[in-house]
Amino acid sequence: MYLTATTQFGLEDVLAEELSQLGATIDYVGSRAVEFSGDKKLLYNTILWSRTAMRLLRPFADFYAPDERALYDEVYHIDWSRYIATGQTFAITAVVNKSSFEHSLYVAQLTKDAIVDQFRERTGERPSIDTKTPDIRIHLRMLENEVILSLDAAGDSLHRRGYRQGTNEAPLNEVLAAGLVLLSGWDQKSPLIDPMCGSATILTEAGLLAQRIAPGLFHQGKFGFENWPDFDAELWQQVRQEAEAQRIEEPQAYLAGSDLDPRVLDQAAANIEAAGLDECIRLSVRDVRDAQPPKDLGPGLVITNPPYGERIGEEAQMDALYKTIGDALKTNFQGYEAFIFTGNLEAAKSIGLKVSRRIPLFNGPIDCRLLKYELYRGSRRVQPTDAR
């Protein structure tokens, strides 16, 4: 079975490593996607266990469509009864790049028309469209008029884990938060601190990782593949039971977060509890300048996503904030490694520490960097560098 997992820019290698550990044969690592192969059990395990996949697609047709007529005809000649059963709803998600077709919505509409016309001609009935929660979601990708049609195994983006009860204004999505933790190389044992934790998505994803909790277990309702004709309910139940058995109850690492806003921390606490991690993560109301590592637990990691200051006139305020972050790291976290994820590379210069690694990523449309700092003990002098 050939499959494609999509992810966010910069997380492709992390995703490929995840899939390899699940037993996948990696065929190709591209931009924002990894192509791989494996059996049905691998598909089910990927849905449950992947922390950095956004979507899991099963390609079933590909063709060249130079114009509208060709697209309609090619779609019409696929035997759609193999993929959509009578009485099931479906939806088309289309992504169009560098093609003679200008609008993905038009391509989706034309594809839908061809499918509906085939059903109507063969059975006298047409399947219904449900754009929100379809039984079968079909993903169409058109690049330079080459079309690939795939079944969406999840039916929705996998970043929507299901544990989020509330978020602050600009939360990280769960896949990106998990990606930051995995990119840091955290050993899942040493302390991990987020001194500006917001709704605690980084800490929650770190907790799920350390406690061996499969993120797919939080999903509400059915996954897309549960509506496929070849769905194996017995195998799915077995895979779920195996995943549940891997969970570790005893906290595996010291995880702590703080924030200035008590209301935001209330949301964070609700998310953490919904993820079953309330015994594993400590929260406190605290200014970043007062953040402290735990005593007598050895060195660990700081991972945080401070505000970027996207409003006009916030430059001086952001510079001061990032200087405060740098001062707190230098003073309080000697011996630690720190990872700052930011979309404000100008303000990041005010941290005043030497960057040892820069990883390009995006937070939505915002061009960001994950900046690594090694916080040496003693008086080792470091010169500020350009965070770009």
Per-residue pLDDT tens over the stretch 237-283: 999 999 999 999 999 999 999 999 999 999 999 999 999 999 999 99
Share of the chain above pLDDT 70, in %: 95
pLDDT at 128 over 80: yes
Tokens, residue 185: 């190389």
Q: Say if CB 163 and CB 194 are below 8 A apart.
A: no
- What's the pLDDT tens digit per position in 200-216? 999 999 999 999 999 99
pLDDT per position as a tens digit, 351-383: 999 999 999 999 999 999 999 999 987 544 444
Q: What pTM, to 2 d.p., does this model score? A: 0.92
11 versus 221: the higher-pLDDT residue is 11
Q: Is 126 a residue whose pLDDT tops 90? A: no
Residues of the chain with CATH 3.40.50.150: 174-213+249-374
CATH T-level assignment (fold) for domain 174-213+249-374: Rossmann fold (3.40.50)
2-152 carries CATH number 3.30.2130.30? yes
Q: Give residue-wise pLDDT tens across range 133-176.
A: 999 999 999 999 999 999 999 988 888 887 877 665 667 899 99
Considering Cα of 145, then 37, then 57, then 161, what sign does the dihedral take? negative
Confidence of residue 61 (pLDDT cuts 50, 70, 90): very high
Residue 382 confidence (pLDDT): 47
Give CA angle at 261 (335, 198), nearest 5°: 55
Q: What element of type H or E holds 95?
A: strand 90-97
The set of residues, in sequence order, having a beta carbon less than 8 Å from that of 126 and lying 6+ positions away, is 116, 119, 120
